[in-house]
């Protein structure tokens, strides 16, 4: 172990409970101090993951995140407070973590993780911890780790369920463990698996799974214990049950370059039929003049309960079947949170039921709150 990783008296005192573990001792703590760990995403999983890696004494942490703190994050992203709303997640996380442990170094990458910068970002790190919440980035992280020979400590969460595994791990006999593509060669069809914003997540779940993910990082770095290489750990908070599945390497899995992951996952932006739009100012004018129109909200019921514009609630998944409830002889305005889901609803209704009187509320309820009535909560 290099003398530069020798623990100072202050660090010896700080990490005394680690050092007291016979299998861990000073050597394990020095390995943590020497380690460079990149955490991709500082949100639900990234928050507990970063907190515990910083507290444990990982000498150099990297944080990749280009998002800003939103009020809806605070239900589970415990790195942040109400005072951080609107601020950079990565920079805010760095400031918080250095207050927790001033003995570590932190590098911030306030940018999206893409196929163009992935290999450059991860090249100087020993271990990558994937705290992302979407399939394109998940496959990108995996493929970049395989190409760069980095260990990928993976976790994911949804509603009450979580998963943890360690991919691309080099075992003592020199063999590489499975990677994410050995487990999931192909992504699910677009829209089949909703993200946490659409499907929800129990606030405490990322704390549980992110802590397990941090534990796996520490095991990989120190060599203490047996990492989840070749295994997938499953946790269900609703039933408090766990399972551990075996993962086999697939000889057909070949990763030779980084690709277009949005296209691979079937969600690349494509040319779509333009829909008619109405601005929030125009909607306000209709409201003020008591005009005859129909307003339909295609969000989920829980979103409607948080904030609504007094429209008729017909969730996107039911809107085509509910076409009979939609007027054909007056202006019908359809809205969602930002305008994306409502535009898709209009395309489906026009294609399948030949509507000609549908208008998308541009910017959705977010725009109405920002530009018309800021007493309406955003989430």
Catalytic, out of 196, 214, 232, 247: 196
Q: Which residue has the tokens 């739009």?
A: 277
Q: Which residues contact 312 (CB under 8 A, 6 or more apart)?
A: 294, 295, 296, 297, 325
Residue of 37, 70, 36 lying closest to 369 (CA atoms): 70
3-state class (DSSP) for residue 101: coil
Q: Residue 341 burial (CB < 10 Å; 0-12/13-18/19+)?
A: buried
Please list, residue by residue across 8-18, b when 16 or more beta carbons sit within 10 angstroms of its beta carbon and e when fewer do. Answer: eeebeebbeeb
CA distance 344 to 338: 12
CA distance 250 to 95: 42
CA distance 303 to 369: 14
Q: Is 145 a catalytic residue?
A: no
Q: Is 336 a catalytic residue?
A: yes
CA distance 177 to 168: 5
Catalytic, out of 53, 218, 336, 349: 336
Q: Residue 295 forms beta bridges with which residues?
A: 333
Residue of 202, 199, 204 lying closest to 302 (CA atoms): 199
Give the catalytic positions in this structure: 196, 336
């Amino acid at each position: 172990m290099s003398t530069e990783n020798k623990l100072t008296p202050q660090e010896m005192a700080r990490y005394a409970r680690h050092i007291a573990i016979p299998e861990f001792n000073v050597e394990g703590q020095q390995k943590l101090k020497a380690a460079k760990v990149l955490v991709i995403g500082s949100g639900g999983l990234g928050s507990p993951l970063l907190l515990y890696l910083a507290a444990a004494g990982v000498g150099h942490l990297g944080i990749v995140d280009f998002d800003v703190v939103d009020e809806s994050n605070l239900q589970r992203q415990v790195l942040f407070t109400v005072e951080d709303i609107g601020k950079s997640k990565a920079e805010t996380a760095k400031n918080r973590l250095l207050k927790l442990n001033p003995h570590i170094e932190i590098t911030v990458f306030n940018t999206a993780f893409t196929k163009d910068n992935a290999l450059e970002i991860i090249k100087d790190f020993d271990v990558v911890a994937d705290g992302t919440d979407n399939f394109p980035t998940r496959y990108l992280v995996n493929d970049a780790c395989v190409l760069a020979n980095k260990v990928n400590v993976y976790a994911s969460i949804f509603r009450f369920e979580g998963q943890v595994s360690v991919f691309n791990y080099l075992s003592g006999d020199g063999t590489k463990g499975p990677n994410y593509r050995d487990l999931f060669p192909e992504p699910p069809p677009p829209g089949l698996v909703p993200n946490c914003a659409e499907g929800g997540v129990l606030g405490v779940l990322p704390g549980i799974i992110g802590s397990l993910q941090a534990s796996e990082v520490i095991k990989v770095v120190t060599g203490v214990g047996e990492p989840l290489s070749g295994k997938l750990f499953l946790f269900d908070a609703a039933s408090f049950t766990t399972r551990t599945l075996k993962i086999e390497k697939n000889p057909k899995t070949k990763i030779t370059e980084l690709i277009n992951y949005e296209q691979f996952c079937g969600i690349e932006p494509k040319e779509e039929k333009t829909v008619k739009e109405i601005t929030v100012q125009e909607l306000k004018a209709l409201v003020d003049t008591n005009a005859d129109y129909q307003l339909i909200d295609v969000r989920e019921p829980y979103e409607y309960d948080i904030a609504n514009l007094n429209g008729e609630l017909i969730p996107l998944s039911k809107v085509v079947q509910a076409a009979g409830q939609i007027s054909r002889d007056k202006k019908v305005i359809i809205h969602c949170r930002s305008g994306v889901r409502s535009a898709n609803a209009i395309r489906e209704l026009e294609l399948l039921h030949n509507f000609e009187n549908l208008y998308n509320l541009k910017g959705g309820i977010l725009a109405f709150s920002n530009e018309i009535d800021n007493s309406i909560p955003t989430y």
